């Protein structure tokens, strides 16, 4: 019997984001960021195995403009290249995470699919990480989930303790759509990387479970109230 799964791809927010410098060879920016999943906002994904081998089909019923070029298709192309003797796959993605909002929806979709297929097909986590790094710099974080430190271009992940349960995160979505590529293209590096001590303090506060210190040290080089590189805004408080 062919397998079927319905999974959620959670959004993320950046609790800290330090933009350190631009790597001229790759064109990417080196960063240091603390990310956490935001479970109140998620895309809904249906995955079904087919009877044949090798192929896949990806649909976005409420966002058809994504069907020609999307992170799920990229991830599956890479996965099938490395593991061709696997069943065909049908995937449907219901988008709830705003596109180009800085909330990581595309990367989360790809990672959620990779994780589920990794479970079904017994693909080691290390192999999935190699694929995720080629999909996008946020994608490896979603293979870990929870709260984590992202370094280099954001793809080098170190898990961190979860946020204390007393902390409430509120994401306010806007109609402002900003691609990550465009956001970094226009960033003024002379104003960035000034709050690295706050990132260290935030990480220490996570290990100590100090909610007040966590909230005090949240920051983002794109703007203090932004969730990431897009237009969504972040509010964090204690219950």
Where does 95-177 show beta strands of DSSP type E? Answer: 147-151, 156-160, 167-172
Q: Average pLDDT per run of 10 along the chain, which is 239 residues long?
A: 92 96 92 96 96 88 94 97 94 95 95 98 97 95 98 96 96 81 86 95 98 96 76 86
Catalytic residue annotation = 12, 138
Least Cα distance to 219 among 234, 230, 209, 232 occurs for 234
Q: Which CATH number fits domain 4-238: 3.40.50.280, 3.30.230.10, 3.90.1150.10, 2.60.120.10?
A: 3.30.230.10
Residue 8: in which H helix or E strand, if any?
strand 4-22
CA gap 229, 238 in Å, rounded:
24
* The model's pTM: 0.93
User: Encoding tokens for residue 197?
Assistant: 């001590």
pLDDT of residue 1: 60
């Amino acid at each position: 019997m062919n397998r079927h799964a319905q999974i959620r791809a959670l959004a993320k927010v950046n609790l800290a984001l330090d933009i350190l410098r631009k790597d001229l060879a790759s064109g990417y920016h080196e960063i240091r960021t603390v990310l956490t999943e935001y479970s109140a906002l998620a895309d809904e994904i249906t995955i079904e195995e087919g009877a044949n081998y090798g192929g896949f089909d990806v649909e976005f019923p409420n966002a058809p403009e994504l069907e020609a070029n999307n992170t799920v298709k990229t991830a599956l192309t890479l996965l099938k290249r490395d593991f061709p003797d696997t069943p065909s796959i049908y995937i449907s993605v219901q988008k709830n995470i705003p596109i180009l909002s800085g909330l990581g929806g595309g990367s989360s979709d790809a990672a959620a699919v990779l994780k589920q297929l990794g479970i079904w097909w017994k693909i080691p986590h290390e192999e999935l990480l190699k694929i995720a790094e080629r999909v996008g710099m946020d994608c490896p974080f979603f293979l870990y989930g929870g709260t984590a430190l992202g370094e280099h271009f954001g793809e080098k992940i170190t898990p961190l303790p979860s946020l204390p349960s007393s902390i409430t995160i509120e994401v306010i979505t806007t109609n402002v759509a900003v691609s990550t590529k465009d956001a970094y293209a226009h960033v003024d590096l002379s104003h960035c990387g000034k709050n690295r001590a706050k990132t260290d303090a935030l990480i220490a506060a996570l290990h100590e479970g100090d909610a007040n210190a966590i909230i005090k040290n949240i920051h983002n080089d794109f703007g203090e109230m932004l969730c990431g590189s897009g237009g969504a805004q972040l509010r964090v408080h204690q219950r």
